[in-house]
């Protein structure tokens, strides 16, 4: 069970890379870039099990069955997942399924998008004197609704990082406004760590308009909190340039 990191292949861990190099079978998700194919055994079997926009991938149940089948038939299977397998990645569900059949599982952590995507855009999730904690929340729960935790987080001074939340931006903005946070800085970063990354920075008041002008799509991370303005625009731009992110001004 290997975390691939947020996108750019060189953000996988050394342990993850070693597992990939020796794998007999690799099953990968939609958020995993195909560069890993250059690092596997030529005879390795590769299954793309990702769900993408407009195309249905395999169901979780089918994936569980496929991993089990591959493990029994071929031995060393790498289940390669975007970010970290245990951060909204259903990693433990897969582990538990395999454990029932006596399959040995090793977890290899990945660099999660919740910290690294803001970081690569020059935004630290904590900063002394500015943010003492951060919440990582899903914008989309099992039944498709926004997590009620967003309401709780909006009552704190914590940095709030929302994954899978782009389609819920209006709801999120209303919750933060209802808590008096009209001027709270917000950043939304799409495809962090990748050459086609985009970033829009604003405040709770104007982020919706800015986002619709620029057209941000999933996968994207929403960061709300004073940490967004800790770095001057110049610093953000330098960081952005290095990481090939397109910045659309903080005001
Ligand atoms: C199913 S969750 C998986 C999260 C993953 N396990 C992790 O630790 O990053 C998918 C969500 O992660 C976020 N995400 C993952 N990679 C991203 C990236 N490179 N840039 C922006 N957001 C990303 C998006 O919010 C996306 O909708």
pLDDT tens, per residue, the chain with 251 residues: 999 999 999 999 999 999 999 999 999 999 999 999 999 999 999 999 987 655 567 899 999 999 999 999 999 999 999 999 999 999 999 999 999 999 999 999 999 999 999 999 889 999 998 899 999 999 999 999 999 999 999 999 999 999 999 999 999 999 999 999 999 999 999 999 998 888 899 999 999 999 999 899 999 999 999 999 865 555 555 555 555 545 555 44
Q: Which residue's C-alpha comes closest to atom 25 of ligand 1?
A: 163
Q: How far apart are CA 94 and CA 88, in angstroms?
A: 13
Q: How far apart are CA 60 and CA 57, in angstroms?
A: 9
- Is residue 84 flagged as an active site residue? no
- Is residue 62 flagged as an active site residue? no
Q: Which of 83, 194, 198 to mutate to test the pocket of ligand 1 (most atoms within 8 A of CB)?
A: 83
- Is residue 209 flagged as an active site residue? no
108 CB-near residues (< 8 Å, 6+ apart): 1, 2, 3, 13, 15, 16, 19
Determine which one of 24, 48, 51, 208 is catalytic: 51
Ligand 1 near 163 CB (within 6 A) = yes
Q: Which residue's C-alpha comes closest to atom 21 of ligand 1?
A: 220
């Amino acid at each position: 069970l290997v975390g691939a990191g947020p996108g750019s292949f060189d953000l996988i861990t050394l342990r993850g890379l070693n597992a990939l190099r020796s794998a007999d079978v690799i099953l990968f998700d939609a958020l995993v870039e195909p560069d890993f194919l250059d690092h596997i055994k030529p005879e390795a079997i590769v299954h793309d099990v990702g769900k993408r926009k407009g195309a249905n991938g395999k169901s979780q149940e089918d994936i569980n069955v496929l991993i089990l089948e591959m493990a029994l038939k071929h031995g060393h299977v790498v289940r390669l997942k975007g970010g970290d397998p245990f951060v909204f990645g259903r990693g433990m569900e897969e582990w538990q399924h395999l454990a029932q059949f006596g399959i040995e599982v090793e977890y290899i952590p990945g660099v999660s998008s919740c910290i690294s995507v803001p970081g690569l855009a020059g935004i630290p999730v904590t900063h002394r004197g500015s943010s003492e904690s951060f919440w990582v929340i899903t914008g989309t729960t099992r039944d498709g609704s926004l997590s009620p935790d967003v309401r709780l987080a909006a009552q704190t001074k914590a940095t709030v990082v929302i994954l899978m939340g782009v389609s819920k931006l209006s709801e999120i903005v209303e919750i933060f406004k209802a808590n008096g946070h009209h001027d709270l800085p917000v950043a939304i970063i799409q495809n962090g760590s990748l050459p086609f990354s985009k970033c829009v920075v604003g405040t709770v008041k104007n982020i919706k308009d800015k986002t619709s002008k620029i057209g941000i799509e999933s996968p994207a991370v929403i960061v709300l909190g004073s940490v967004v303005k800790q770095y001057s625009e110049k610093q953000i731009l330098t960081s952005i340039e290095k990481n090939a992110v397109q910045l659309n001004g903080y005001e």
